[in-house]
Amino acid sequence: MSNRQNCDSGCLSPLELYERVTTQGDKVRSLKTAEAPKDEIDTAVKLLLSLKLMYKATTGQDYKAGSPPTDFTPINNAPAITEDDDFVDPWTVQTSSAKGVDYDKLIVRFGSSKIDKELINRIERVTGQKPHHFLRRGIFFSHRDMNQILDAYENKKPFYLYTGRGPSSEAMHVGHLIPFIFTKWLQEVFDIPLVIQLTDDEKYLWKDLTVERAYEYTIENAKDIIACGFDINKTFIFSDLDYLGMSPGFYKNIVKIQKHVTFNQVKGIFGFTDSDCIGKISFPAIQAAPSFSSTFPQIFKGKEDIQCLIPCAIDQDPYFRMTRDVAPRLGYPKPALLHSVFFPALQGAQTKMSASDPNSSIFLADTPKQIKTKINKHAFSGGKDTIEEHRKYGGNCDVDVSYMYLTFFLEDDDKLEQLKQAYTSGALLTGELKKALIETLQPLIAAHQERRKQVTNEMQALAQALIEEDHGE
Ligand code: TRP
């Protein structure tokens, strides 16, 4: 099945299209009032007409000023299947290519924007900081409205960060750290509040887990997340199972979102069917709510208009497309987003990793020896079969998992480039490239484990303090 033919509007949602038509209509009017040159007016009118056509093609209705679309099936939001059969939704990521998912196609399909050199330069200019290597290397590759966030920062307007994790097992692997490492950097650079949602409710609904077990996973995962070193005074980490029942601000936003999203819409966005339990069907409202500042009155003092920036893996985008769709109807700003690529499994970039297969990645609790053995035994190699051939033809970094992991974790640009060149030319053998990865990951994970050990008490205190404060509201 291919949905690409439905995507000629750049995958804008009906509401986004509606807004574009409205803005373009305003533009045409003001050009006419200002008696602008005829060709300028003509171009603007042409664009207006084609936007109206797209609106009709998407919603089946004519555009009517003043009445935004309410009930529709957002065909453009259906799970992303590209021509080459990449499949991406919040639960499944599949591609047939050893290089991994085609991210440029995903940008077109999802209607997001590429994080290009210009944006990276602007981030550098505005913050005065060298952009994180996740930005420089295209690991965070796509965004929505990041320029708005930079405008806010320049104008000293407040905004905040929101990210999260679904705790599906006790063990987190290095890939799970990617959004958190990047979020920590963003918090440092912008010096802003951060909320972290642990969706143990989501995992209970989707997996074969008891509520109690899901909550235990939350507690263990929270330690790993806190060990990333966020600003304790500006970070609120919470479990849905724990916190939702005691936060009126949160619940009010959940029902507001629920009232403004139809079953048709979530079916279109998430592929739910009539036999999915109603918990799943209403869950997207719970992941959407933290995108609005009024969800956290204890942090934002009741302010409703503080914009949110969400760093996440691209598979989470459907939740936030839905969120951005409802935001204007609730009178809230749309959250901005920064999307990351998927972290490849040791066996190759074809699939997202599974936390239930211990050999599919390096786990945060692995010993130095386990790290070494796993990489040597399981990391898919882009090298040639024999040393002679390898020396002659060189290795292929595009499919080599050890090299891919190094792009995530080896910060030194020069060293990474040297490794790439040596491997590609055949001067460096697979075993030597693997050794470089082992030597990068072992100290990194040891340091993480050390920080995690110190977390326990601090974490309890932090979670407790913020929840008590909320009680006082
Ligand atoms: N659904 C996400 C997961 O399964 C968890 C999550 C909740 C999240 N809120 C988020 C991820 C915000 C990124 C940003 O991992």
Q: Which residue has the higher pLDDT, 30 or 145?
A: 145
Is residue 249 within 8 A of residue 295, CB to CB? The reply is yes
Residue 84 placed within a domain: no
Residue nearest to atom 11 of ligand 1 (CA): 164
Residues 326 and 439 in one domain: no
pLDDT score at 245: 94
Residues 234 and 333 in one domain: yes
pLDDT at 76 over 60: no
Residues 71 and 129 in one domain: no
Is residue 292 within 8 A of residue 257, CB to CB? The reply is no
pLDDT in tens, 258-275: 999 999 999 999 999 999
Residue 162 placed within a domain: yes
pLDDT score at 23: 77
Please state which of the ranges 74-88, 148-162, 176-190, 284-298 shows the lowest mean pLDDT: 74-88
Residues 43 and 144 in one domain: no
pLDDT at 74 over 60: no
pLDDT category, 38, cuts 50, 70, 90?
A: confident
CA–CA dist 440, 454 (Å, integer) = 23
CA–CA dist 291, 257 (Å, integer) = 11
Residue 106, domain CATH: 3.40.50.620
Residue type, 200: D
Please state which of the ranges 83-87, 147-151, 324-328 shows the lowest mean pLDDT: 83-87
pLDDT in tens, 214-249: 999 999 999 999 999 999 899 999 999 999 999 999
Ligand 1 centre and the CA of 324: distance in Å? 16
Residue 87 placed within a domain: no
Best residue among 161, 196, 199 to mutate for probing ligand 1's pocket (most ligand atoms within 8 Å of CB) is 199
Q: Which helix (H) or strand (E) holds 122?
A: helix 117-127
Please state which of the ranges 51-55, 107-111, 340-344, 417-421 shows the lowest mean pLDDT: 51-55
Q: Copy the structure tokens of residue 454.
A: 């110190």
Residues 49 and 178 in one domain: no
Residue nearest to atom 5 of ligand 1 (CA): 165
Residues 312 and 183 in one domain: yes
Boundaries of domain holding 388: 368-454
Give how many domains the chain has, as a whole number: 3
The tokens 């204890």 sit on which residue?
298
Residues 317 and 189 in one domain: yes
Q: Copy the structure tokens of residue 157.
A: 């307007």
Please state which of the ranges 103-112, 203-212, 406-415 shows the lowest mean pLDDT: 103-112
pLDDT in tens, 392-421: 999 999 999 999 999 999 999 999 999 999
Best residue among 162, 165, 308 to mutate for probing ligand 1's pocket (most ligand atoms within 8 Å of CB) is 165
Residue 181 placed within a domain: yes
Q: Copy the structure tokens of residue 238.
A: 């919470």
Ligand 1 centre and the CA of 311: distance in Å? 10
Identify the domain boundary among 298, 318, 347. Answer: 347
What are the pocket residues of ligand 1 if the criterion is a CB atom closer than 6 Å to any ligand atom?
162-166, 197, 199, 202, 287, 310, 312, 316
pLDDT at 471 over 50: no
Residue nearest to atom 6 of ligand 1 (CA): 164
Residue nearest to atom 8 of ligand 1 (CA): 164
Ligand 1 centre and the CA of 466: distance in Å? 21
Residues 321 and 195 in one domain: yes
Average pLDDT, the chain: 88
Q: Which residue has the higher pLDDT, 366 or 77?
A: 366
CA–CA dist 319, 50 (Å, integer) = 28
Please state which of the ranges 9-23, 87-101, 360-374 shows the lowest mean pLDDT: 9-23
pLDDT in tens, 327-348: 999 999 999 999 999 999 999 8
Residues 224 and 174 in one domain: yes
pLDDT at 88 over 60: yes
Please state which of the ranges 59-63, 149-153, 318-322 shows the lowest mean pLDDT: 59-63
Residue 31, domain CATH: 1.10.287.10
pLDDT at 142 over 80: yes
185 contacts: CB under 8 Å, gap ≥ 6? 132, 134
Residue 382, domain CATH: 1.10.240.10
